[in-house]
């Protein structure tokens, strides 16, 4: 199961976003957003940070990601991904390759 969260700058926290069943995850990526994906099957948390976000917003979202991970399972591995520097594993996860 995959959970998707979007960082809300006003609230300084991640909020769950609903996605339609057949929407590829890569279509959610937007340079103005910071998204967090929880892949419960592979035990990974991916924090993708769009290039148009401030250093402060990136920092706060990284700190907040720990709380989301802990809600699911503290053993999950957190991966921080900057737009333009996506790893092959992340690209496979979101359906880019």
pLDDT of residue 69: 95
Compute the distance between CA of residue 19 and CA of residue 57 in angstroms, rounded to an integer: 23
Q: Which of the following CATH numbers is that of domain 2-94: 3.40.20.10, 3.50.50.100, 3.90.1300.10, 1.10.240.10?
A: 3.40.20.10
User: What is the full per-residue pLDDT of the chain (97 aa) written as tens digits?
Assistant: 899 999 999 999 999 999 888 889 999 999 999 999 999 999 999 999 999 999 999 999 999 999 999 999 999 999 999 999 999 999 999 999 9
- Give the pTM: 0.93
Q: How many beta carbons lie within 10 A of that of residue 5, not counting itself?
A: 21
What tokens appear for 87 in the block?
């790893």
User: For the chain, which residues make up each domain, given as ranges?
Assistant: 2-94
Q: Are 39 and 20 in contact (CB under 8 A)?
A: no
The confidence score (pLDDT) of residue 63 equals 92
8 A C-beta contact, residue 57 and residue 37: no
């Amino acid at each position: 199961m995959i959970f998707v969260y979007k960082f809300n700058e006003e609230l300084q926290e991640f909020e769950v976003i609903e996605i339609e069943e057949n929407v590829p995850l890569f279509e959610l990526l937007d340079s103005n957003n910071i998204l967090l994906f929880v892949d419960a099957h592979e035990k990974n948390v991916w924090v993708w940070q769009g290039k148009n976000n401030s250093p402060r917003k990136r920092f706060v979202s990284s700190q907040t990601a720990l709380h989301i991970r802990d809600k699911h399972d503290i053993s999950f591995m957190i991966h921080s991904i900057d737009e333009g520097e996506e790893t092959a594993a992340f690209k496979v996860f979101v359906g880019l390759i």
